[in-house]
Structure 1
Amino acid sequence: MSGTSTLAPVPGAAMEREIREQPAAWRRLLEQAGVVDETVERIRRFDPAFVLFIARGTSDHAALYGKYLAEVTCGLPAGSWSPSTTTVYGAVPRLNRCLVIAVSQSGGSPDLVQSLEAARQAGALTLAITNVSESPLTQAAELAFDLCAGEELAVAATKSYTAELLALAMLFDGLSASTSSGFAELPEYGDALLDTASVEQVIERAAERFTGDRFVLAGRGYSSATALEGALKLMETCYVSAAGFSGADLVHGPLAMVDASVASIVIASPGRGGEAIEPVVERLRATGSSLLLIGPRAARPDELTVPLPTGLPEQLMPLLEILPLQRLAMTIAGRRGIDPDRPRGLLKVTRTT
């Protein structure tokens, strides 16, 4: 019998591979430090008074992380641009002395491109951070930074997200008054976390325990971005209802929706953010919700915990925090018979106007 047979793609194979590729992508990005230095010097000459981020989806969570970096490490007030103010309402901004950073995996969404063009015309210094070096967004910007993450096939962004985080960390580290350590060691920490059997066991146990369709995730400071991104990964790959919050915002009302039927995930990495989230953990325990803790060294015996290393600066921890949450989303999806590489109704490149 002759003929050609085509094997069906293995569900989740692309997401699994791209999760594991992240430390290698970080190494490639760190090799571009010279490009970052040139960008930093240009920004210093411009001397911005504030920073605005333009992003959607996963990249918007990276932008939230960038906002914390700008404000904490550089003392620069930062905010988020609403593209519809330009694309829908036709507003004309006034942006003298503003650094506008557009963050996008593909750099192809028309609303981001149009907003960045408007920012440039309004007097801002514009920077595009993308994984596609010749994208329309890159061409619209004065400065550009290639993430070097390589092609990403799974719809759910993994390696492009952490590459965005690292690019922003490198940028604001260069702009800050004091240079941080930990960049060189970061890929090794990532490899270790992805290869640790005990971490994989916790993820499997969490996937077994979290059989419901309601999740809440919380973090403080830099880890707020991780909570939002972890929730998005669960929504788009597992088709569940998941909400991510700053821990401070959670206790200002949304906590009332949490009961024993809700799975709670708290990011409590070493550092000030982890210390600030501790009271929220106690409040969640009181609800009877099943808990997964990402970061702490100590927890109650019946709680699921993924410890994280203590040897990195707090601002770099979000690159590690998200790794077990990416794997959790992939594992839950597999248990539910869902291919996380191809979520229903979604495309890899989303074009909004």
Structure 2
Amino acid sequence: MAADIGEQPAGYARLLDSANAAAIARVAAVVAERRPRHVVFTARGTSDHAALYGAYLTEIRLGVPAGLASPSVVTLFGARPDLSDALVVGVSQSGGSPDLAEVLRAARSTGALTLAVTNAPDSPLADTAELSIDVAAGHERAVAATKTYTAELFALLMLVEGIRAGDGVLPAAEREALAALPDLATRTLADDTPAQLAPRYRFARQLVTTGRGYAYPTAREAALKLMETSYLPALAFSGADLLHGPLAMTDPEIPVLAVVGSGPGGRSMGEVLPRLDERRADVVVVGSADVPGATRLAVPEVDERYAPLLDILPLQRLALALALSRGEDPDAPRGLKKVTATM
């Protein structure tokens, strides 16, 4: 897991190289020409959080309605929703889960344009879709996904911005901003604060993660990483949803990891943090925002839509360090395997 985490800056750079960037641009150009009226993502596990990020990007950057499909609608109940004029995107590291392939197969039968975003370009999911993007993360050693997750984020970001450009080619300013991310990721991973923070939560019984907008997928992915590596029950809420009830359970015994950037989503967390302070919750702020008096996992400031590519890095390292401090094996969590097939 440590090796996989450390390879992420190189993975970002790999997606930006000419061949991979050109491949994503070609897919983006096809989608832009088709002008889908809405976008539906389908995914499981960690990839579901990447898909959620893709949905935020789609609605905010393209102005196109987006959502996440429930595969069981197709696989268990046999329904065939009318997805004509839609882009249906299957996101999966392995591309091996049959339910996702079945969703894309059903979508194609009703006239949708289908796309697979996967680390396995020869997978059943990629074979089923009309279009495919290889996230080019390379072999992932640990069961818990890290570098494949951020590769999916980066690929979806390049895809959406390419669609927005119309011809798939990113504007020069966008390319320049993306080109800075590998070095920023390296700098983020060099900070040893996550390892120093792990003993603080060694005996925690429960944990909460929260964020808004682009940070919400990060909060959900961090919660999953903590659950699958440390077996620590972790509940993820958007900052808004946290105030609609779950806030009542927070107290000094329940740590809260709050993902707070410097854009609109991060600023909106200004309503949440004081309420957590009233509850005397043990809060750690993750991100670029400077919150006076808070314990921080600091991340370089970037455009808020890029922040998920950096914010998750210290949280992955925290999950790794916490698992080790609790005497667990984060490379091989009990009961889990790399490819999970569901229907």
Shift of 1:297: 4.5
Partner Cα distance (1:298, 1:58) in 2: 28
Q: Which residue of 2 aligns with 1:309?
A: 300
**Worse overlay, 124-133 or 178-187:** 178-187
Determine which of 18, 27, 44 is the counterpart of 1:56: 44
Question: In the alignment, is residue 256 of structure 1 matched against residue 248 of structure 2?
Answer: yes
- Confirm or deny that 1:184 pairs with 2:172: no
Equivalent residue, structure 2, for 1:246: 238
Report the CA distance between 1:300 and its aligned residue: 3.7
Query: What SS does the corresponding residue of 1:204 show, helix, strand or coil?
Result: helix
CA separation in 2, counterparts of 1:204 and 1:160?
Answer: 22
Q: Which stretches in structure 1 are left out of the alignment for 5+ residues?
A: 1-14
Q: Counterpart of 2:205? A: 213
Deviations 1:46-104 (A, max 9, x none): 11000000000100000100000000000010011110000000001111110000000
Runs (5+) with no aligned partner, structure 2? none
Partner of 2:131: 143
How big is the shift at 1:33? 1.1
| Stretches of 4+ aligned residues off by more than 2 angstroms | 177-181, 296-301
Amino acid at match of 1:336: R
Q: Select the residue among 65, 75, 81 that pairs with 1:93.
A: 81
Number of residue pairs the alignment of both structures matches: 333
* CA RMSD of superposed structures (Å): 1.2
The alpha-carbon deviation at position 226 of structure 1 amounts to 0.2
- Is 1:154–1:342's contact at 8 Å kept on the other side of the alignment? yes
When normalised by structure 2's length, the TM-score is 0.95
Kindly provide the amino acid, as one letter, of the partner of residue 123 in structure 1.
G
Larger deviation, residues 59-68 vs 209-218: 209-218
Q: Specify which of 2, 18, 22 is matched with residue 4 of structure 2.
A: 18
Cα deviation, residue 309, structure 1: 1.6
Where does residue 156 of structure 2 map in the other structure? 168
CA distance 1:205–1:290, change in 2 (3 Å): farther
- Preserved contact between residue 251 and residue 282 of structure 2 (Cα < 8 Å): no
Look up the equivalent residue of 1:23 and give its one-letter code.
Answer: P
> In 2, are the aligned partners of 1:97 and 1:123 still within 8 Å (CA)?
yes
SS of residue matched to 1:126: strand
Asked if 1:65 is matched to 2:56, the reply is: no
Contact 1:206 1:304 in 2 (8 A): no
* SS of residue in 2 equivalent to 1:266: strand
Task: Give aligned-pair identity as a percent.
Answer: 48
Match of 1:33 in 2: 21
Aligned to 1:326: 316
Q: Counterpart in 2 of 1:4?
A: none
Cα deviation per residue 1:228-283 (whole Å; 9 max; x = unaligned)? 00000000000011011110111111111111110000000121111011211111
Q: Deviations over 1:156-195 (max 9, x none)?
A: 1000000000000000111125843511101010011112
Q: Does 1:203 align with 2:226?
A: no
Give the AA of the match of 2:26.
E
1:45 CA drift (Å): 1.8
If the length of structure 1 is used for normalisation, what is the TM-score? Answer: 0.92
1:205 CA displacement: 3.5
User: Which residue is 1:117 aligned to?
Assistant: 105
State the one-letter code of the partner of 2:323. A
CA shift at 1:119, angstroms? 0.6
